[in-house]
Structure 1
Amino acid sequence: MTKMRQTPAASQLAELHVERLAAIEAASGPVYAIPSEYPAGYHVKPHNHSRAQFVYARAGVVMVSSVQGRWMVPPQHALWIPAGLVHTVDMLGEVSMLSAYVLPDVLSDPPSAIRVVAVSDLARALIIEAVAPVAEARTGRRELVMALLLEEVLRLPDRPLGLPFPSDQRLANLCRGFLDNPSARLVIDDWAERLAMSRRAFTRFFRKETGISLSTWRQQAAVFTALPRLAGGETVTAVALDLGYDSVAAFTTMFRRMLGAAPRSYFKTGEQSSS
């Protein structure tokens, strides 16, 4: 596992964040890359930047929130945040992150929406190299690293770790209530009835508001809830039963379908690649 360095106090971190935002805006190169360390529970207040941000969670779990929804970045994943988007950041556990801030016009067709992606071995090596102190990197070599990093970022596979939120307040309240008490037994008819809609009308309405079906949203919410707990060392059995799954096997099947690996092997893979 990546060894965490001693992090400053919350007041010092707030000052550092203001200084960091100023440095990002003052940077002249197409890509500005920096490392950051945060203690568990630290909250970064609403902010934005004129550059897009590619943030890699090297250790810990990061949660980014905006009016569009919430996105979770567990270890060995990264998040693309479009330029100008106001967002907050919460640290679930001690966090070590590496960020590359990219000028909007550097890429011919940059992603316009937030994306959670799985980080390849190449992307991981490149962003680690990108945040190395300038004095330790030759200028020409550094430019090549940054250029290749941008190429690799666009090729990384999406992961369903975003949770879109509806703009309709009634539906948003139902979604937030579900996150407070998630369950595998969510019934479409119950939500439709609470909004005084037929099942068919509600299904169309939910997809229009979020872009996905309620079934898919529920599974993403389950992963969203499970990952911080699993990363914190809780057993798969405890998490699966708390989420209302009838068996560990049923939860594992859902988890594998969403993230491509069973819960136990998912985190073992991340530990091995970051050691």
Structure 2
Amino acid sequence: MKNVPLSEVDAAPRAVLPIGTDYPPGLLLDWHEHRRAQFLYGATGVMVADTADGSWTVPPERALLIPATTRHRVRMLGVSTRSLYVEPAAVPWWPARCTVVDVPPLLRELLLAAVEFEADYDLSGRAGQVVALMLHEIAALTPLPFHIAVPAAPELAALCRAYLAAPDVAVTNALWARRAAMSERAFTRRFREQTGESPAGWRARARLLAALPLLRSGTVTEVAGRLGYASPAAFTAAFTRLFGAPPSRFHGR
């Protein structure tokens, strides 16, 4: 099934519905939720997904596991997706919150094959076996660190959402504390309680996540300068430390 709205096939008596969808560059799928869990894979481009408690940046050849009934929005930056919509009862092991995972070659090929199936594919034939194997492969995947938490407190969340939209190395803890009408010490303590890391550490992670879409068209040197790093080497070191691969791996993807 390709470019078929989920609503048209959601009632099909199949635990897993594979759907491929082509999106215009920069399209925002605004806040919504699905009754089924979703395995959202993009072969090219970058996806940025938000929920109430975090933001996930999904590079090419990775996927996002979205729990059933999780309200979310996704910006598609040059992406064609291959999704699986899964009945929750069929995947009791599904993560309780969104999770980014790598998609190895076997699973990529299975996804490409699966989106050619009709909604009423034969459960006992090849299609049924492909779908069953995909679930086994997904269950074995390891989470990747392409995520950042967003505080529950509205005043802190607003600061974080604004920073994610426009990361700025000049922002300081003192500036954030003033905007939140708190002392810097109280602000830092509350921020750490809600996110598990310091405001400065959070902003550093946010800037590195922001690098992933920028690397689609910008060089490592250009992205390093845009995000306020002293040198491309400093940017490369921080990026590699967080994501386990150098930024050059993501350039032009």
| Superposed displacement of residue 75, structure 1 | 0.8
Number of residue pairs matched by the alignment: 251
TM-score (normalised: structure 1): 0.80
| Superposed displacement of residue 150, structure 1 | 1.3
| Superposed displacement of residue 258, structure 1 | 1.9
When the two chains are superposed, the root-mean-square deviation of aligned CA atoms in Å is 2.6
CA contact (8 A) 2:93 2:139 kept: no
| Superposed displacement of residue 189, structure 1 | 4.5
User: 2: distance between equivalents of 1:45 and 1:73?
Assistant: 17
Q: Report the equivalent of 1:188.
A: 173
CA contact (8 A) 2:20 2:80 kept: yes
CA contact (8 A) 1:161 1:223 kept: no
SS in 1 for 2:238: helix
Letter matched to residue 44 of structure 2: A
Q: Report the equivalent of 1:247.
A: 231
Equivalent of 1:132 in 76, 97, 116: 116
* 1:1-275 mapped onto 2 (5 Å cutoff): 20-92=5-77, 94-134=78-118, 139-184=124-169, 186-192=171-177, 194-195=179-180, 197=182, 201-231=186-216, 233-267=217-251
User: 2: distance between equivalents of 1:168 and 1:211?
Assistant: 14
User: 1: distance between equivalents of 2:7 and 2:13?
Assistant: 12
| Superposed displacement of residue 21, structure 1 | 2.5
| Superposed displacement of residue 33, structure 1 | 0.5
CA contact (8 A) 2:188 2:198 kept: yes
Residues 1:185 and 1:169: Cα distance change in structure 2 (over 3 Å): same
Greater helix share, 1 or 2? 1
| Superposed displacement of residue 236, structure 1 | 1.1
- CA shift digits 1:15-72 (9 cap, x unpaired): x6xx613134212111110111011122223321111000101112222223223222
Letter matched to residue 66 of structure 1: T
| Superposed displacement of residue 193, structure 1 | 5.0
CA contact (8 A) 2:219 2:251 kept: no
